[in-house]
């Protein structure tokens, strides 16, 4: 089995996604840190930085691509080990750092009203299932990633093939559609039906499993991977196209809810800007799929890609530490830039000293996948030959 070249263009897109989220938070969202509306402070760039909220959607799309790549040909144990080792070392460090920060200092920004048990729940990453809050607001997207991993683990058990991918994506789309159309809003507004308790519960479970708000991006990423692996296919492009409308609709609703709650003056994100942003996200992944970004061979992109997960995890907490004591004495543009540089530097240290060694240690301690690339069941459909380290999976 031959190794596939590392997709450094995906590393670049991953860093772009993390930087977009950081810029959104620092320049548009963190009013409590700046004390005044940041979109007024950074008004010249506000129409762009407000759209950085959609960096998470880019993460989800990349994740659909690389998680399918990672899962193909693996046993359940091998897939579970790879995901556990990838997710938890940097995450555990971040949760413990947040606990220490708010337990032993007087830093107030984003201080969670937590008991020790809440932090312990956060260490599991399943705090949402226990209806416990997030130690950091950015953790919300990890719950969607975890549920995607569980769906993919079930798919690994079944056995991944090209035809089954189409069936999987089709069934997932139908499940997400059922979740969306059994919401109270749809039933009351469209049909004048007040849902019974059992239907409300059914909707909660459908939403939990099928994730209608994230499904379009995961499925688009999976479809782009199939195009990258197998070449042009009507069904693969069909699922890309099928996912695009709900992806735009979900993004419009997510950004629109911010505009509605804050007002356009305080959150100047336009509908056309959202449509353009989602279109660009799809076009960027399409460019990777079609090989248009193969010229991106700079080895530094590998490091940038690797540090984006720590960057996503720690940038909020670092803002709470750096910005408040300096905001009255330093130019806000310089302070925002300085905080970004510090966040990137700290993220590299977390990657080099915690994340990378932690992944290596966990992979040594946990059973190795010795059947990577072998077919679990006889099949006439060839498995794509891929290295278990073809590409690190994307996690926001």
Nearest to 280 by CA among 4, 17, 86: 17
According to the model, what pLDDT value does residue 232 have? 95
Mean pLDDT of 148-173: 97
Rounded to 5 degrees, what angle do the CA atoms 74, 66, 248 make? 135
Number of domains into which the chain is organized: 1
- Lowest model confidence (mean pLDDT) among 65-69, 171-175, 189-193: 189-193
Is 357 among the domain residues? yes
Is 386 among the domain residues? no
CA distance 30 to 32: 5
Name which residue leads in pLDDT, 74 or 198.
74
Give 227-286 pLDDT, tens digit per residue. Answer: 999 999 999 999 999 999 999 999 999 999 999 999 999 999 999 999 999 999 999 999
Query: Is the Cβ–Cβ distance between 228 and 9 less than 8 Å?
Result: no
Query: Is the Cβ–Cβ distance between 69 and 293 less than 8 Å?
Result: no
For the stretch 171-191, what's the b/e string if a residue is b when 16 or more beta carbons lie within 10 angstroms of its beta carbon?
ebbebbeebbebbeeebeeee
Residues with Cβ within 8 Å of 98's Cβ and at least 6 positions away in sequence, in order, are 112, 119, 135, 136, 317
Name which residue leads in pLDDT, 93 or 3.
93
Helix (H/G/I), strand (E/B), else coil: 116: helix
According to the model, what pLDDT value does residue 388 have? 37
Q: Is the pLDDT of residue 62 over 50?
A: yes
Is 221 among the domain residues? yes
Is 295 among the domain residues? yes
Whole-number percent of the chain with pLDDT over 70: 88
Is 26 among the domain residues? yes
Q: Is the pLDDT of residue 3 over 50?
A: no
In terms of residue numbers, what domain contains 254?
Answer: 8-365
Query: Is the Cβ–Cβ distance between 316 and 136 less than 8 Å?
Result: yes
Is 393 among the domain residues? no
Is 49 among the domain residues? yes
According to the model, what pLDDT value does residue 189 have? 59
Mean pLDDT of 353-366: 92
Q: Is the pLDDT of residue 4 over 60?
A: no
According to the model, what pLDDT value does residue 217 have? 98
Helix (H/G/I), strand (E/B), else coil: 347: helix
Q: How far is CA 291 from CA 17, 224, 295, 296, in A?
A: 20, 12, 9, 10
Whole-number percent of the chain with pLDDT over 90: 82
Is 186 among the domain residues? yes
Structure tokens given for 388: 């278990």
Q: Which residue has the tokens 């990258």?
A: 228
Predicted model pTM: 0.90
């Amino acid at each position: 089995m031959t190794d596939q070249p590392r997709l450094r263009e995906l590393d670049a897109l991953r860093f772009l996604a993390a930087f977009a989220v950081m810029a959104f938070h620092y320049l548009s969202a963190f009013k409590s840190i700046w004390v005044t509306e940041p979109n007024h402070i950074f008004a010249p760039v506000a129409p762009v930085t407000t759209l950085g909220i959609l960096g998470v959607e880019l993460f989800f799309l990349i994740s659909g691509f690389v998680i399918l790549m990672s899962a193909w040909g693996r046993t359940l144990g091998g897939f579970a080990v790879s995901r556990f080792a990838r997710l938890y070392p940097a995450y555990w460090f971040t949760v413990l750092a947040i606990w220490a920060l708010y337990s032993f200092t007087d830093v107030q920004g984003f201080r969670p009203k937590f008991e020790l048990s809440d932090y312990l729940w956060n260490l599991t990453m399943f705090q949402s299932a226990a209806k416990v809050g997030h130690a950091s607001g950015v953790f919300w997207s990890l719950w969607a990633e975890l549920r995607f991993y569980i769906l993919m683990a079930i798919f690994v058990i079944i056995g991944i093939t090209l035809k089954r991918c189409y069936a999987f994506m089709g069934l997932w789309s139908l499940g997400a559609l059922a979740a969306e159309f059994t919401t109270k809003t749809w039933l009351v507004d469209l049909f004048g039906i007040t849902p019974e308790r059992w239907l409300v519960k059914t909707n909660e479970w459908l939403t939990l499993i099928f994730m209608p708000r994230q499904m379009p991006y995961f499925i688009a990423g999976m479809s782009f991977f199939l195009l990258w692996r197998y070449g042009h296919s009507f069904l693969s492009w069909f699922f890309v196209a099928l996912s695009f409308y709900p992806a735009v609709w979900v993004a419009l609703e997510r950004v629109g809810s911010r505009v509605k709650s804050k007002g356009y003056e305080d959150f100047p994100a336009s509908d056309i800007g959202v449509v353009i942003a989602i279109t660009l996200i799809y076009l960027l992944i399409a460019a990777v799929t079609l090989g248009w970004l193969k010229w991106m061979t700079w080895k530094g992109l590998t490091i940038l890609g690797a540090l984006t997960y720590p960057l996503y995890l720690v940038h909020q907490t670092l803002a709470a530490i750096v910005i408040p004591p300096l905001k009255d004495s330093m130019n806000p543009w310089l302070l925002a830039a300085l905080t970004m540089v510090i966040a990137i530097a700290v993220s590299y240290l977390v990657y080099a000293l915690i994340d990378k060694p932690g992944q290596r240690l966990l992979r040594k301690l946990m059973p190795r996948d010795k059947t990577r690339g072998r077919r679990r069941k006889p099949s006439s459909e060839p498995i794509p030959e891929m290295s278990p380290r073809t590409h690190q999976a994307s996690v926001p």
